[in-house]
Chains A and B, each alone.
Chain A
């Protein structure tokens, strides 16, 4: 097919802007002018395929313009916030167990002397807003392919979801927006079907609700994979063939990447059908099986490089793999679902379940045979050349010929303005009550805290038979982290947890630190250590200075938290432009949301600790200090109160207390452990009690605190705190290890009541644990 020429040379600024809009390129004027100049110097106009390729490669989704751009803030210029803060911390820490950080599809750390762990988390927000089942399912499918794209086998899937309030009135919903309950049911079903069908356990996750997510839900999908350390290859050579394996290519998800760089409008529901992708988990399973055979059949893999087709389709996958060499692709070789696709559509289609392998010529037949045996397509579509150019051919016509240097390094750097003003803290003031039973029950039944068992039980978390600590612990208890034992011949395990605190987003620095602390806490609760972190920013439009200012604050916190905990970031992702337009200039940003994923190891999974109380008479200790930090807390939320100080992290003490706690676990002193997070210590105590079918007595006078107000001691969400049950008789040993990090605050009782006495000595909470469990469980019983 003869390529269509797009006339850019000699066009006015307005015409360039119009062209970007007309072809849905999401390129700004400066970028369009750069392209215009480039082609002017070549003495010709670009073809549609060339223009589409550049738009994909230069999209926010692919090059992270904001994170790698120049940001002007407070009269200073920050050159690349990712490198200036997050990567800098990783480089400073320089941990020998980090194998591959911020380079490939997934971060890779050492597991043991023979195996490595590959981890990735990313968002799939916009597709989920349009079709929750397909969008969330392909979010899982896409992130699985990311670890497959470094040669690892997925062993654990995790999902963190944010929606508008589930009881939001239908008549208040803006046009074109699906109801939160429908979004949530659809997303859960999509994640469930993809993971279950592929045989990957979904064993960790989270769920949050806020009105700010009404028009723009968030779906984070994450994955942990395992791979032999000597099987990581990424070295395509000139002469190697490009093999496309997996699903056929259709019009799926065309412009998904550039779509992600636009704000959703009321028309999105109708005009963006191209962005919808439907998953086929069985196809991806076939691809995975073939890929593992190609990896393991001989001493070294049959391929010289492997990557997945994700955002941007072949354009991104092949384009990035061939950046150093050059590639020539014959688009008419690509197997199609239907025949009427234009060459550029084939090139940028985001059809799912496809991987790209670079294979030396001598191995091509063997690789094709392997995938044939798995009943999936494998097709040679081109080769790596050595001319450092991207050449696309369709039925013998050259439809694109681009210089790799221009394609990958030609994008003009953005310069963005950022400003941040810390919100003024006002203490709303609160008159103490005589008792807080009702407050506790209202927090327990609020959607963020309530039992997620209805969802968790839909996910298969047992498949592959590697799960040691599962998402549901004790009698329906909410586990802090999950522990997976990847090898049959070793007791060593991987501990995976998440932390996110978008309710604290008015103070983005402390919001980010709190998320890191929470992810660390959850990991430590189960016995994790040597923890690596992943960041995942979901933000509003970075072209608006206040949004960007807040982003810079939270990125700084990632640096400080990483250094403070001595935990390097190994991978990350950002999804910006999460704003919803109601027409006109009125746009709503989501609450700034930073998901931190923590991946630790545990030398012996038999020493992993769950959160349910174990035995009557055991003493209960509290680790960490309680401060009056109720800003963004659930206590204020259920009481319709605003203001207050958002929790901060004392980095000089947090790391020490967590290290001590882990060594107490290793010494066999700890029987159960649960962190204090949403809802504060009272919620932690209730959850530990009803999950163990045991009672607990706590004396607030004994709590290490900067306040003597009962509601603060019960419900403040101060960071770095845990409730810990110790084996009776081992108190001395525990106190010796913990020093001033822990104080004895109560004990496990056999009467099935949670009794908390206040600073005046009266019972401020006294409730039957079955009643607490009932209100906690009844919220999600859809």
Chain B
């Protein structure tokens, strides 16, 4: 089973990528943005047991002092973000590197997972999930993705509204 892990910052901890992204979206003059939070996202491709995903999330991917983690099975329609993101009434944008583009964080994660004695992982892909609180139409959020959040040359993106 393949999994997706999302790592976010605890309430009260500064999320610098989130606040910079908010400024970037404001610069575009598209829609209205109230806040942006980010989750660092790990896609674990292969056949991995739930306990192992828990262990990696807790001991490898996150810093338990300032960060939290959520994970779920990878769903092709992207509905796993409903478990990764607890907020509602927000736009959620997933940005991942395209297959074949070098993913350095993914590569070093694979090495370390091997060291942890966890097997069954074929590859680790990394990306960012943006949780955007703001007023945007579907067209507008797509435009924000293209103009600011993702570079179509090396990254894929998809978005959905969580109600």
On whether A269 and B152 interact (CB within 8 A), knowing A170-B28, A181-B27, A282-B104, the answer reads yes
Collect the chain B residues with CB atoms within 8 Å of residue A134's CB: 154
Are A131 and B108 in contact, with the CB atoms below 8 A? no
Are B151 and A278 in contact, with the CB atoms below 8 A? no
Q: Which parts of B75-101 form the interface with A (CB within 8 Å)?
A: 98, 100-101
Complex CA gap A782/B103 in Å reads 27
CB B122 to nearest CB in A, in angstroms, measures 13
Q: Is the interface of A mostly helix, strand, loop or mixed?
A: loop
Complex CA gap A181/B147 in Å reads 11
- Give the size category of A's interface with B: 20 to 34
Collect the chain B residues with CB atoms within 8 Å of residue A131's CB: 151, 153-154
Collect the chain B residues with CB atoms within 8 Å of residue A130's CB: 151, 153
Are A282 and B101 in contact, with the CB atoms below 8 A? no
On whether A337 and B154 interact (CB within 8 A), knowing A170-B28, A179-B147, A182-B148, the answer reads no
In the complex, B54 has a CB within 8 A of chain A: no
Complex CA gap A178/B28 in Å reads 12
Complex CA gap A179/B152 in Å reads 14
In the complex, B139 has a CB within 8 A of chain A: no
Are A337 and B102 in contact, with the CB atoms below 8 A? yes
A-B contact count (CB 8 A): 52
In the complex, B23 has a CB within 8 A of chain A: yes
B100 CB contact (under 8 Å) in A170, A179, A250: A250
Residue of B nearest to A280 (CB): B104
On whether A280 and B102 interact (CB within 8 A), knowing A270-B153, A273-B153, the answer reads yes
What per-residue 1/0 map shows which CB atoms of A349-372 lie under 8 Å from chain B?
Answer: 001100000000000000000000
CB A599 to nearest CB in B, in angstroms, measures 32
Complex CA gap A269/B150 in Å reads 13
CB A373 to nearest CB in B, in angstroms, measures 16
On whether A273 and B147 interact (CB within 8 A), knowing A251-B100, A282-B108, the answer reads no
Complex CA gap A592/B35 in Å reads 42
Collect the chain A residues with CB atoms within 8 Å of residue B104's CB: 278-280, 282-283
Interface centre among B23, B100, B103 (most CB of A within 10 A): B100
On whether A273 and B102 interact (CB within 8 A), knowing A170-B147, A181-B27, the answer reads no
Interface centre among B104, B107, B154 (most CB of A within 10 A): B104
CB A170 to nearest CB in B, in angstroms, measures 6
Collect the chain B residues with CB atoms within 8 Å of residue A269's CB: 152-153
Residue of B nearest to A375 (CB): B111
Collect the chain A residues with CB atoms within 8 Å of residue B140's CB: none
Collect the chain B residues with CB atoms within 8 Å of residue A272's CB: 153
Are B28 and A273 in contact, with the CB atoms below 8 A? no
Collect the chain A residues with CB atoms within 8 Å of residue B27's CB: 181
What per-residue 1/0 map shows which CB atoms of A767-782 lie under 8 Å from chain B?
Answer: 0000000000000001
Interface centre among A251, A273, A338, A352 (most CB of B within 10 A): A273
Are B102 and A252 in contact, with the CB atoms below 8 A? yes
In the complex, A276 has a CB within 8 A of chain B: yes
Q: Which parts of A182-221 form the interface with B (CB within 8 Å)?
A: 182, 185
Residue of A nearest to B30 (CB): A170
Interface centre among B20, B147, B151 (most CB of A within 10 A): B151
Collect the chain B residues with CB atoms within 8 Å of residue A251's CB: 100
Are B154 and A273 in contact, with the CB atoms below 8 A? yes
Collect the chain B residues with CB atoms within 8 Å of residue A178's CB: 151
Interface centre among B29, B102, B103, B147 (most CB of A within 10 A): B102
Complex CA gap A674/B101 in Å reads 46
In the complex, B59 has a CB within 8 A of chain A: no
Complex CA gap A280/B153 in Å reads 18
CB A179 to nearest CB in B, in angstroms, measures 7
In the complex, B24 has a CB within 8 A of chain A: yes
Residue of B nearest to A247 (CB): B102
A170 CB contact (under 8 Å) in B29, B103, B154: B29
Complex CA gap A231/B98 in Å reads 42
Complex CA gap A338/B99 in Å reads 11
What per-residue 1/0 map shows which CB atoms of A11-27 lie under 8 Å from chain B?
Answer: 00000000000000000
Collect the chain A residues with CB atoms within 8 Å of residue B154's CB: 131, 134, 273, 276, 278
Complex CA gap A90/B29 in Å reads 53
Collect the chain A residues with CB atoms within 8 Å of residue B24's CB: 181-182, 185
Q: When A and B form their complex, which 8 residue pairs have the shortest distance between CB atoms, in order from nearest?
A: A278-B102, A280-B104, A273-B153, A130-B153, A131-B151, A276-B154, A131-B154, A131-B153
Chain B: residues with CB nearer than 8 A to chain A?
A: 20, 23-24, 27-29, 98, 100-104, 107-108, 147-148, 151-154
Chain A: residues with CB nearer than 8 A to chain B?
A: 130-131, 134, 170, 178-179, 181-182, 185, 250-252, 269-270, 272-273, 276-280, 282-283, 337-338, 351-352, 782
17 A-B pairs (CB sep. < 8 Å)? A130-B151, A131-B153, A170-B28, A170-B29, A182-B147, A185-B24, A252-B102, A269-B153, A273-B98, A273-B154, A276-B101, A278-B104, A280-B102, A280-B104, A280-B107, A338-B100, A351-B102
